[in-house]
């Protein structure tokens, strides 16, 4: 479970960092796909795929009413029961107009530096929230309806244990209508 925690932390950081801040992002529905993630030098792709498979199996074993309720909740949060490492996020017009990346959903961690150059945004951050210090840097490149991001983070927990994560992901614009997926800034 300890290793899975870092997968989830890394996925959350990777997914929320790109919700805004490229200045070229369109409001609407985007699909975020983790291309590769390493934690402490280990490729976590197999574990992430395994976790997605476990979720799929858990959903399949639920009674129909409970499964429908769970699938509806996942859909609203942008995570379908597709059994892969992609999620959907709704980018509101306010988020698309931001000049800085969103580092965490709560807004307690803000980037220390952000640089824009053409279709490329570079950023760095360092913050401590609830005894966990996270610092990192990343670069996002926008190419029409696709944003590619590489991010490196170092997280030190309240016990002094340090983990290094590298994440590459892609965001693909689906369309202006978010459907049932709500923007993170509306929760």
Per-residue pLDDT tens digits for 96-149: 887 777 666 566 677 788 888 888 888 898 888 888 888 889 898 888 899 998
Backbone Cα Rg of the chain: 16
pLDDT of residue 48: 64
**Phi, psi dihedral angles at 108 (to 5 degrees):** -80, -15
Per-residue pLDDT tens digits for 13-53: 444 444 445 556 889 998 888 888 888 888 877 666 666 66
pTM score: 0.69
Q: 178: which DSSP letter? A: -
40: left (phi over 0), alpha (psi -120 to 50) or beta: left
Distance CA 8, CA 168 (A): 15
**Tokens 């993170």 appear where?**
184
Number of domains in the chain: 1
| Residue numbers of the domain that contains 158 | 2-186
Please, what is the angle between helix 45-60 and helix 2-17, to 10°? 100
Distance CA 161, CA 181 (A): 35
């Amino acid at each position: 479970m300890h290793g899975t925690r870092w997968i989830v932390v890394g996925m959350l950081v990777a997914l929320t960092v790109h919700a805004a801040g490229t200045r070229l992002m369109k409001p609407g529905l985007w699909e975020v796909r983790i291309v590769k993630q390493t934690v402490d030098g280990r490729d976590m792709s197999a574990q992430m795929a395994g976790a997605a498979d476990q979720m799929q199996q858990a959903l399949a074993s639920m009674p129909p009413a409970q499964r429908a309720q769970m699938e509806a909740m996942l859909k609203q949060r942008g995570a379908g029961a597709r059994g892969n490492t992609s999620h959907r996020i709704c980018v509101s017009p306010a988020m698309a107009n931001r000049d800085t990346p969103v580092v965490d959903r709560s807004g307690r961690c803000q980037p220390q530096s952000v640089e824009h150059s053409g279709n490329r945004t570079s950023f760095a951050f360092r913050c401590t929230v609830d005894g966990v210090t996270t610092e990192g840097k990343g670069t996002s490149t926008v190419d029409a309806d696709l944003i590619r991001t590489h991010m490196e983070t170092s997280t030190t927990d309240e016990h002094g244990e340090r983990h290094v994560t590298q994440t590459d992901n892609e965001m693909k614009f689906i369309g202006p209508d978010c459907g049932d997926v709500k923007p993170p800034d509306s929760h």
